[in-house]
A and B are shown apart, each in its own frame.
Chain A
């Protein structure tokens, strides 16, 4: 089965984010492969290992995003494509979805497109479903397990109240949840191979589509209001005494 995994490069999850002079900064923190996307890569790798096929990893972004693509190659993806074009500056999720749908068609013979749950920068979590709708492929959101049987995908999907087992004809779009299991670390051989890989860059002309229109704008990004907490440390001679005092405080807050 041929699979495309769509990934993003983002500031590390521990980065101290701040807005300075209208610009978003993440200090000294590194840019990394979006952690949720690692689960998508892991799930796709397992399917390829079991049944053969190519695993193409795609990222939209600047030149630096090649580092995230290399991480994916080091994990075991077959090939990587960077999609970069000045016209993509400020692309919103549906513009990205239009672009990714174009890339998936251009790659050709793709039977499944995998996404992580969401990117930890914008926390949108909508691009997979938007891409599915544009391609006219079924959307299997938040998949906890996945296998191929008789040319069909069989997945377990997480919903608020439980899990569904879903059988799906290919091609399909899948977003992968953390339940799939720990993503593998890149192997030493993988890292060596990835460091030597040349990653092609596609612009819009190469993808064969015009600049997609963005309709969602972000007029302002702000630092969150500072949480003014005065911490009161509860002490006492015994656990009983502390529990009594703490219970008083909690009841005074009227949150129960």
Chain B
């Protein structure tokens, strides 16, 4: 049996790891059990050190970090340089990343430097005859593919929420090893000149619960738009009132707010909320679809949710075929009532 040294890339922003990063350690431990070898983490960027320390709580056997000023803001090239150098020096045989924007990009770039291939966004990993066999959805989940890479190291990104993060244990500690930057600032051809954080709220891809709205959220007959709005502006006003109702239920459930493409294209809510083939792929424990008919492209983005609840006026809407529980009715009456009931039951 080969001895695998698994290097896990922890995606972090200014001292806070993206939750998906810890899931990757879970996936790495499962591989290490079958392949042998130990799991190390690598953390890059401003305030990387405390995150590297934290990775010991999740079971890392070693942790590396680089918080050089040239890595303060995420830039693909200087990050990849440090990562690749560390992977070579540690003789890493497997590199694992969360499928985040940075994770996918770093996996792609390091695979080139290391003369290997990359298997992104996997939902399962097995070992067969000492070889890693990955499972990944293709065609937006309409088909499932197995993938193997003949070269080494194996470079893989794991889909957010597909693997379980180990329980954190604060008693497990260690001392992370500092790494030096590789590329001098003068040789970096990009400069980050501005940075803005997205509005708060729960991130869609990390969310345990999502409450989503579609075109139906603009159809509340009980509302009268303010005078002076043209037809389109009145429709958007109605929709935004509708999304407030969705937002209230979401806040009771500590849920993220999603939307169908139809709602985004109609200007009801920003694209960042879109769930579906050309939006975010999500797999929460609970997905509540409100006023969403359930086009195949929307289904592609949410069909892996554990429990789906659909609330729609149209009993024929395709979303009901995916749903565990359905309500054929007026979401503007059901949702506020549901928010009140659940708030009480959850003891808030």
Residues of A in contact with B (beta carbons under 8 Å apart):
11, 13-19, 24, 35-36, 92-94, 97, 120-130, 132-134, 138-142, 154, 158-169, 172, 178-179, 214-224, 227, 229-235, 239-240, 242-244, 246-247, 249-251, 253, 255-256
Cα A198 to Cα B182 with chains together (Å): 47
Q: Are B338 and A247 in contact (CB under 8 A)?
A: yes
Instruction: Provide the bound-state CA to CA distance between A15 and B147, in Å.
Output: 23
Looking at B136, B320, B328, B338, the one whose CB has the most chain A CB atoms below 10 A away is B338
Q: How large is the interface on B (under 10, 10 to 19, 20 to 34, 35 or more residues)?
A: 35 or more
A-B contact pairs, 30 of them (CB 8 A): A15-B139, A121-B139, A123-B137, A124-B121, A125-B121, A126-B118, A138-B190, A139-B76, A141-B105, A162-B198, A163-B198, A164-B74, A164-B192, A164-B194, A165-B193, A168-B189, A168-B191, A215-B116, A216-B118, A216-B119, A218-B145, A219-B133, A223-B143, A224-B142, A229-B321, A231-B323, A231-B326, A232-B325, A239-B337, A243-B334
Beyond contacts A168-B190, A229-B308: 11 other A-B pairs, Cβ-Cβ < 8 A, are A121-B139, A129-B105, A167-B193, A168-B189, A216-B148, A219-B147, A223-B144, A233-B327, A234-B326, A239-B330, A242-B327
Q: A132-B109, A139-B76, A215-B150 are in contact. Are A160 and B340 (CB under 8 A)?
A: no
Contact yes or no, B195 A239, CB < 8 A: no
A141-B105, A166-B193, A219-B146 given; A255·B286 CB < 8 A: yes
Please determine whether A141 and B146 come into contact, CB atoms closer than 8 angstroms: no
Given the known A-B contacts A178-B271, A227-B322, A231-B323, are A162 and B196 also in contact in the complex, defined by CB atoms under 8 Å? yes
Kindly report which residue of chain A lies nearest to residue B320, judged by CB atoms: A231
Alpha-carbon separation in the docked complex, A235 to B325 (Å): 10
Query: Is B36 engaged at the interface, CB distance under 8 Å to the other chain?
Result: no
- Contact flags (1/0) for B113-154 with A, using CB distance below 8 Å? 100111111000000000001001111111111111111000
Check if B104 sits within 8 Å of A121, measured CB to CB.
no
Residues in A whose Cβ lies below 8 Å from that of B202: none
> Is the pair B303, A120 in contact by a Cβ cutoff of 8 Å?
no
A123 engages B138 (CB within 8 Å) = yes
Chain A residue nearest in CB terms to B335? A243
Instruction: Kindly provide the distance from the CB of A238 to the nearest chain B CB, expressed in whole angstroms.
Output: 8
Majority SS at the chain A contact face: mixed
Interface membership of chain B positions 305-347, coded 1 if the CB is closer than 8 angstroms to chain A and 0 otherwise: 0111100000000001111111111100110111011100110
Give which listed residue, B136, B142, B336, contacts A17 with CB less than 8 A: B142
Residues of A within 8 A of B333 (CB): 239
Judge whether B35 is part of the interface by a CB distance below 8 angstroms: no
Residues of A within 8 A of B120 (CB): 124-126
Whose C-beta in chain B lies nearest to the C-beta of A18? Answer: B143
What are the residues of chain A within 8 A of B24 when measuring CB–CB? Answer: none
CB distance from A85 to the nearest CB of B (A): 20
